[in-house]
């Protein structure tokens, strides 16, 4: 991008390559970008010189004598008459003089800089510089950043602060545009963005370090079982797509059941939700096809419901497999806190790409399947020593799957793996698990996949019966009605708040009234009714009934009809100054 005040000419060509016009390119000092077009080169050069001189005059810099079409004598007379600046006054000298008058930068608190940045982003509400969806995705990281660094001035913050700050790499990247914007203001809030050095170190570390995958036994199996059992199975579908269909998190968040073609065994990724902005179809292996089919039979299942509180829920899945979560630092099992491991960087996608490449042995095919490039895939590939884990990965099913379903899935998977380079690893794994050698001869054409699948399914079910119960099954989960309430529009939530007392709403949704009040105020700006509001409403309705019945009934008859004691009715009547007719 050219600096302001600089103009050049650009040639415009037709389909045959002939020059048809000339356009003046550049930006004026007020930020506007005129694009005048001329037929001849001379006219375009004259307009370019005129705009350049106009910009120099606005900066207080002497224009070129030749561009003004003046002789030496006329130029000297104009300087002596103070009509133009002398020739030795340049942009550099003026900038040096201004720098001596004003400080090199201004200092302000980070919270003030963030507020100014938001005003700049939403200066035009109809056309913001950053989409609201992107700004909302980064909001949690920015709120935490403002809590920790909001009172620090821009002069005091350095890169060491970010190195010591415990935050994921994604959060640091989302904060970098704010600090870069601060360096580009005039005068700047800070001379350099302290985050750039930290992000460069992270990028070098990620490129040079070995790729990380989720260990298959037992961590991935634990996470799969947790997704199927915790939070009423809301995360089961997204987790399966992230691992076995290598879909990115945002792609999964915008996914729907209509995009899963169960008959063709493919998942569609339209261009509007895919990262490369190209429509793709990912083939599903038998285990992924079966697990996504389980989501289809759940009435009202929706991928969007899973992303109401996806970050906290996904951290719970990590902690079920003893990985350290990002947003939930406290582990459910405090005694195992010391045994927890860091979460592998981009672990779900690396795992799926690695095991698919091990199965096919073709990087080009796997790159097309996973919607990535061959060089990036080469960084995820871990070598043939992981063949055994690849077999376990493609045979994995949730704990508690029925014998009938296991036999079908194992049969289809074994038939598929026998046509790949994993057939030797498959044979070793089946023999290790206890499948008879007579069913797995050296000649693969003599295998009987149906009998092997049935025997292997029985072995897996017997092994799962001996395992201790899953530790996370007794943990509290978020009720489905509460998640559905959070997904309602503002008008529907306002209606429920106005019509239902907090105590009834609390019992209906399964969460505390404090949680309901915080959500309504933070998300929609809706305030709950004050304490005692519904009790006053009840008493007012009761008093209206007492006044109406006092004219026609005795006190005992009125108490029986209203459903209160006669003594309470006497006190209320005395307080209102009314009396009942005698019996």
**What is the per-residue pLDDT across 543-569, written as a single tens digit (0 to 9) for each?**
888 888 877 777 777 777 777 777 787
Domain boundaries, the chain: 7-101, 110-208, 216-330+337-466, 499-529, 534-576
Least confident of 184-193, 463-472, 555-564: 463-472
Q: What is the band of 472 on the pLDDT scale with cuts at 50, 70, 90?
A: very low
Q: What is the pLDDT averaged over residues 131-157?
A: 69
Q: What is the pLDDT of residue 19?
A: 79
Q: Which of 177-186, 196-205, 544-553 has the lowest mean pLDDT?
A: 196-205
Strands 37-38 and 280-283: unpaired
The confidence band for 379, taking pLDDT boundaries of 50, 70 and 90, is low
pLDDT at 2: 54
Alpha-carbon gap, residue 411 to 452, rounded angstroms:
8
Region 95-123 average pLDDT: 67
Q: What is the 3-state secondary structure (H, E, C) of 63-106?
A: CCCCCCCCCHHHHHHHHHCCCCCCCCCCHHHHHHHHHHHCCCCC
pLDDT tens for residues 5-26? 678 888 887 777 777 888 888 8
Q: How does residue 407 score in pLDDT terms, banded at 50, 70 and 90?
A: very high
Q: Are 363 and 192 in contact (CB under 8 A)?
A: no
* Residue 294 near residue 212, CB atoms below 8 Å: no
What pLDDT sits at residue 453? 92
Strands 37-38 and 260-261: unpaired
Could you tell me which of 227, 220, 167 has the C-alpha nearest to residue 348? 220
pLDDT, residue 75, reads 61
CA distance 342 to 404: 37
pLDDT of residue 582: 64
pLDDT of residue 87: 44
**485 contact partners, CB below 8 Å, separation of at least 6:** 493, 496, 509
Per-residue confidence band for 458, with pLDDT thresholds at 50, 70 and 90: very high
Banded model confidence at residue 136, pLDDT cuts 50, 70, 90: low
Q: Count how many Cα atoms sit within 13 Å of the Cα of residue 262 in the half-sphere of its side chain.
A: 13
User: How does residue 412 score in pLDDT terms, banded at 50, 70 and 90?
Assistant: very high
Between these two residues, 444 and 49, which has the higher pLDDT value?
A: 444
- Across 89-103, 142-156, 185-199, least confident range: 89-103
Q: Which residues contact 163 (CB under 8 A, 6 or more apart)?
A: 198
Is the pLDDT at 133 greater than 60? The verdict is: no
pLDDT, mean over the chain: 76
Q: Which residue has the higher pLDDT, 530 or 126?
A: 530
Fold classified for 216-330+337-466 = hpI Integrase; Chain A (1.10.443)
HSE-CB at 235 with a 13 A cutoff on CA atoms is 26
What's residue 106's pLDDT? 74
Work out the burial of residue 271: count CB atoms within 10 Å of its CB; fewer than 13 is exposed, 13-18 middle, 19 or more buried. Answer: exposed
**Cα separation, 505 vs 102, whole angstroms:** 60
pTM (predicted TM-score) = 0.52
- Under a CB-based contact definition with an 8 Å cutoff, are residues 53 and 46 in contact? no
Q: What is the rounded average pLDDT of the residues 423-452?
A: 90
CA 529 to chain centre: 33
% of the chain surpassing 90 pLDDT: 6
pLDDT tens figures, 82-94 = 555 544 444 444 4
CA dist., res. 211 & res. 349, Å (int): 11
* Most trustworthy range by pLDDT among 101-105, 180-184, 198-202, 455-459: 455-459
Name the pLDDT band for 477 (thresholds 50, 70, 90).
very low
- pLDDT score recorded for residue 36: 85
pLDDT score at 161: 64
- Side-chain half-sphere of 549: how many Cα atoms within 13 Å? 21
* 109 has a pLDDT exceeding 70: yes
For residue 416, pLDDT over 80 is answered with yes
Task: Report yes or no: 295 and 228 within 8 Å, Cβ to Cβ.
Answer: no
Residues in contact with 444: Cβ distance below 8 Å, sequence separation at least 6, in sequence order: 418, 423
Residue 387 has pLDDT above 90, yes or no: no
Is pLDDT at 394 greater than 90 in this prediction?
yes
Contact predicate 556/566, CB 8 Å: yes
Question: Among 13-17, 106-110, 170-174, 490-494, whose mean pLDDT is lowest?
Answer: 170-174
Least confident of 3-12, 93-102, 379-388, 437-446: 93-102
* pLDDT tens track for 303-351: 777 766 676 678 778 877 777 665 444 444 444 455 677 778 778 888 8
pLDDT in tens, 63-75: 554 445 556 566 6
Range 154-159 average pLDDT: 72
| C-alpha distances out from residue 134 to 146, 262, 288, Å | 18, 32, 30
Q: Does pLDDT of 476 surpass 60?
A: no
Burial of residue 208 (number of CB atoms within 10 Å: 0-12, 13-18, 19+): exposed
In Å, the largest CA–CA distance within the chain is 123
Residue 234 pLDDT greater than 60, yes or no: yes
Tell me the mean pLDDT in the region 416-435: 90
């Amino acid at each position: 991008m050219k600096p302001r005040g600089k103009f050049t000419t650009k040639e415009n060509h037709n389909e045959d390559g002939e020059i048809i016009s000339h356009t003046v390119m550049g930006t004026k000092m007020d930020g506007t970008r005129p694009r005048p077009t001329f037929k001849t080169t001379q006219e375009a050069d004259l307009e370019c010189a005129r705009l350049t001189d106009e910009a120099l005059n606005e900066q207080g810099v002497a224009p070129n004598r030749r561009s003004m079409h003046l002789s030496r004598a006329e130029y000297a007379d104009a300087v002596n008459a103070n009509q133009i600046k002398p020739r030795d006054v340049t942009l550099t000298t003026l900038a040096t003089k201004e720098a001596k008058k004003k400080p090199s930068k201004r200092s302000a608190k980070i919270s003030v800089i963030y507020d100014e940045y938001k005003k700049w982003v939403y200066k035009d509400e109809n056309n913001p510089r950053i989409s609201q969806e992107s700004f909302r995705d980064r909001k949690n990281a920015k709120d935490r950043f403002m809590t920790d660094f909001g009172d620090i001035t821009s002069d005091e913050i350095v890169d060491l602060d970010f190195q010591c700050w415990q935050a994921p790499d994604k959060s640091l990247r989302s904060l970098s545009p704010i600090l870069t914007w601060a360096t580009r203001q005039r005068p700047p809030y800070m001379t350099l963005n302290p985050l750039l050095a930290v992000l460069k170190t992270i990028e070098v570390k990620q490129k040079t370090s070995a790729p990380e995958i989720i260990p298959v036994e037992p961590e991935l199996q634990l996470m799969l079982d947790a997704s199927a059992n915790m939070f009423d199975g809301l995360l089961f579908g997204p987790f399966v797509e992230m691992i076995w269909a290598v879909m990115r998190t945002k792609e999964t968040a915008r996914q729907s059941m209509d995009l899963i073609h169960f008959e063709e065994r493919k998942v569609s990724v339209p261009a509007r939700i895919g990262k490369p902005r190209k429509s793709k179809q990912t083939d599903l292996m038998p285990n992924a096809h079966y697990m996504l089919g389980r989501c289809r039979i759940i009435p009202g299942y929706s991928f969007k419901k899973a992303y109401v509180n996806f970050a906290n829920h996904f951290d719970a899945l990590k902690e079920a497999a003893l990985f350290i979560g990002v947003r939930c630092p406290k582990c459910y099992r405090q005694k195992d806190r010391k045994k927890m491991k860091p979460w592998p960087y981009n672990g779900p996608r690396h795992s799926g790409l690695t095991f698919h490449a091990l199965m096919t042995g073709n990087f080009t095919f796997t790159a097309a399947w996973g919607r990535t490039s061959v060089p990036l895939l080469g960084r995820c590939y871990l070598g043939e020593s992981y063949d055994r884990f690849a077999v376990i990965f493609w045979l994995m099913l949730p704990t508690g799957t029925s014998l009938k379903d296991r036999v079908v899935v194992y049969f289809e998977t074994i038939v598929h793996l026998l046509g790949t380079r994993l057939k030797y690893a498959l044979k070793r794994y089946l023999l290790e698990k206890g499948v008879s050698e007579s069913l797995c001869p050296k000649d693969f054409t003599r295998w009987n996949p149906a009998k092997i699948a049935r025997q292997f399914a029985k072995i897996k079910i017997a092994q799962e019966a001996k395992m201790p119960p899953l530790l996370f099954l007794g943990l509290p989960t978020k009720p489905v009605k509460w998640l559905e309430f959070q997904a309602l529009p503002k008008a529907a939530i306002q209606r429920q708040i106005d019509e239902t007392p907090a105590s009834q709403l609390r019992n209906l949704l399964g969460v505390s009234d404090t949680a309901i009040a915080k959500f309504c105020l933070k998300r929609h700006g809706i305030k709950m009714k004050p304490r005692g509001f519904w009790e006053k409403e009840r008493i007012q309705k009761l008093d209206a009934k007492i006044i109406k019945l006092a004219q026609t009934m005795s006190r005992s008859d009125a108490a029986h009809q209203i459903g209160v004691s006669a003594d309470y009715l006497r006190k209320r009547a005395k307080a209102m100054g009314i009396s009942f007719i005698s019996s």
